[in-house]
Copies of this chain bind each other. A is one copy, B any other.
Amino acid sequence: MAIRGGQGEALLAVTTGQPEVKERVDAARNRARVLAAAEQVFAAKDARQVTMEDIARAAGVGRATLYRRYPDPASIAAALLDEHERQLQEQLLRGEPPLGPGATPSDRLAAFYGAMTSLLDRHLHLVLGAEVGSARFGTGAYGFWRVHVRSLLVEAGVTEPNGLIEVLLAPLAPEVYQEQRRRGVSREQIAEGLTWMSHRLLMP
């Protein structure tokens, strides 16, 4: 498993995000430079075309400096996304219903879809950059969504949830979202479609 991000990635638990050993000030300055520059670069061009060289150039640092912390551009995008994903996880675990506990599984699934489409809409570049290819499935965040969806399925009384988890998460792949937007489907329409699906699937 590659080290992704520098401050510990959003996993099952919500961590503090403080680095273990203190970081030299020049390192911290460069980390900030790199992340700020990467944000720009991922927004400016197709996220899957972004190279380490692009980011290094934009940040004004050498490539080897990037490699010190991040093995590839996807890790840098993941680091930028980390904070947002951590917030969403927090809301799913302890937030108000219907996102947090306390609502019916179908409402919670719909709310999850709503939050995810919102995240995708705001940070599509970064998600595209972070989840290149099958890397998506290896992410800590993906593991979290899996556990969440699975528990909703079980709570709704679905007897064989295992064949459905990836199916329900598949529409949240950034390429799928991007393609829908490209075809003129709005975020609202996408969320409505997913809400309708949530209710048809999990209503008693």
**A residues with CB within 8 A of B:** 48, 132-134, 136-137, 160, 162-164, 166-167, 170-171, 173, 175-176, 178-180, 183, 185, 189-190, 192-194, 196-197, 200-201
- The chain B residue with its CB closest to the CB of A179 is B137
Given A133-B48, A137-B179, A166-B171: A160 in contact with B201 (beta carbons within 8 A)? no
Please list the 8 inter-chain residue pairs (A to B) with the smallest Cβ-Cβ separation, ordered nearest first: A163-B193, A170-B170, A163-B189, A167-B171, A170-B171, A164-B193, A170-B176, A137-B179
Please name 15 further chain A to chain B contacts, defined as beta carbons within 8 Å, in addition to the given A163-B180, A170-B173, sorted by A numbering: A134-B178, A134-B179, A137-B175, A160-B192, A160-B193, A162-B183, A162-B185, A162-B193, A164-B193, A166-B179, A167-B171, A167-B193, A173-B175, A197-B201, A200-B201
- Total copies of this chain within the assembly: 2
- Within the complex, what minimum Cβ distance (angstroms) separates A155 from chain B? 16
Whole-angstrom CA separation of A194 from B132 in the bound complex: 25
Are A189 and B160 in contact, CB atoms less than 8 angstroms apart?
A: yes
Chain A interface main SS type: helix
- Within the complex, what minimum Cβ distance (angstroms) separates A194 from chain B? 7
- Within the complex, what minimum Cβ distance (angstroms) separates A6 from chain B? 27
- Within the complex, what minimum Cβ distance (angstroms) separates A102 from chain B? 24
